[in-house]
Chains A and B, each alone.
Chain A
Amino acid sequence: MSEHEEHATHRLGFYLLIGFTLLVLTIVTACVAFVNLGPFNPVVALLIATIKATLVILFFMHVKGASEKLTGVVVVSAFFFLAIMLTLSLADYLTRAWK
């Protein structure tokens, strides 16, 4: 039991490092927004956002090393169903201009 709990929290320095990484990524994404990458601007912005969200979920929300393995399944299924909603909706709207 205590073995599981030790996995759940980390040292102070580790949390500060993750927080610092998140702040750096925020500055990076704000700067990249002013560089013209054509159609890749949204791609890069969403990629950086996803990296940030993943860091928060794995290390701040303790999904990595969680004692309840079902938590990971729930998290993955949440984003899976979100992906279904977004993909099917956009598959419709993005292809309407194709004649």
Chain B
Amino acid sequence: MEHATHGPELVHQFSDAQQQKNSASLGMWLFLVTEIMFFGGMFCAYLIYRISYFNAFAAGSQQLNIWMGGINTAVLIVSSVTVVLAVRAAQEGKRKLLVAYLVITILLGLTFLVIKGFEYKEKFEKHHVPGSTFNFTEKFDDNGKQIPVDSKNAELFFSLYFVMTGMHAIHMIIGCGLFTGLAILAWKGHYTSTYFTPIENGGLYWHLVDIIWIYLFPLLYLISRHS
């Protein structure tokens, strides 16, 4: 059988580079499916408790900082653009450009985490962190009408807020670590215009984490806001 021209990255169980690449991509997507179901369970819990304790959840949601949440949404969207440009640079075999986009992505990811940190700090200062120091005296502003809420139920809102945004932040930290590894390997010249599957799959992970935030932002910050 004739041997096609391919790099050392082609392992023997695949017939050609394209098949290996498609298999890796499919495997990555199957992993992302488990991530969607993992976060889906938390979204489901949030929706059910929001229906059960609507006033307390609305009051809690109104206490979130919409500016920090909104700016973080924009930061993640820009980082998704730099990721897709990194994949494009890899495909064109531009090594330095690829490393530059990966580094910008990591910096944007860290910016997200720093802003998230300031947001968490604000929660600690306002005693909105679930636990023994939790204290919630704010009312639900229902179009100007001030409705008192049960602080136990508001605590549940903030528990879900910290679990969901915390899990998302852990994914961001993992993403930054992953991209640091990719940037180092890219700098060393591991990736060529014919082999850049890890860049693509790392990008898929980053985009999924972005999509989760795209849903977290309206559900946590926005839908109880109008007044």
Residues of A bordering B, CB below 8 Å: 1, 4-5, 8-10, 12, 15-16, 18-19, 22-23, 26, 29-30, 33-37, 41-42, 45-46, 48-49, 52-53, 56-57, 59-62, 66-68, 70-71, 74-75, 77-79, 81-82, 85-86, 89-90, 93-94
Contacts and interface: CB of A to CB of B under 8 A. Distances in A.
B170 interface: no
B207 A30 contact: no
11 contacts: A8-B91, A22-B80, A23-B77, A33-B218, A49-B215, A60-B81, A70-B26, A71-B25, A78-B33, A89-B47, A89-B48
Contacts of A79: 36
Interface stretch (B82-90, B132-140, B148-156, B182-190): B82-90
B77 A81 contact: no
Contacts of B37: 78, 81-82, 85
Nearest to A81: B37
Given A56-B210, A60-B83, A90 B227 contact: no
A68 B26 contact: yes
A48 B215 CA distance: 9
Given A34-B225, A78-B36, A16 B77 contact: no
Interface residues of B, number: 52
Contact of B44 (A9, A19, A89): A89
Contacts of A42: 218, 223
Q: Which of B51, B52, B73, B222 has the most CB of A within 10 A?
A: B222
B18 interface: yes
Contacts of B214: 49, 52-53, 56
B70 A26 contact: yes
Interface of B: 16, 18, 22, 25-26, 29-30, 32-33, 36-37, 40-41, 43-44, 47-48, 51-52, 66, 70, 73-74, 77-78, 80-81, 83-85, 87-88, 91, 143, 200, 203-204, 207-208, 210-211, 214-215, 217-219, 221-223, 225-227
A56 to B, nearest CB: 5
7 closest Cβ pairs, A-B complex: A45-B218, A19-B81, A33-B222, A68-B22, A78-B33, A33-B225, A42-B223
Nearest to B34: A78
B44 A85 contact: yes
B26 A71 contact: yes
Nearest to A15: B84
A1 B85 contact: no
Contact of A9 (B70, B87, B208): B87
B83 A74 contact: no
Nearest to A51: B214
Contact of A15 (B43, B81, B223): B81
A97 to B, nearest CB: 9
A5 B93 CA distance: 14
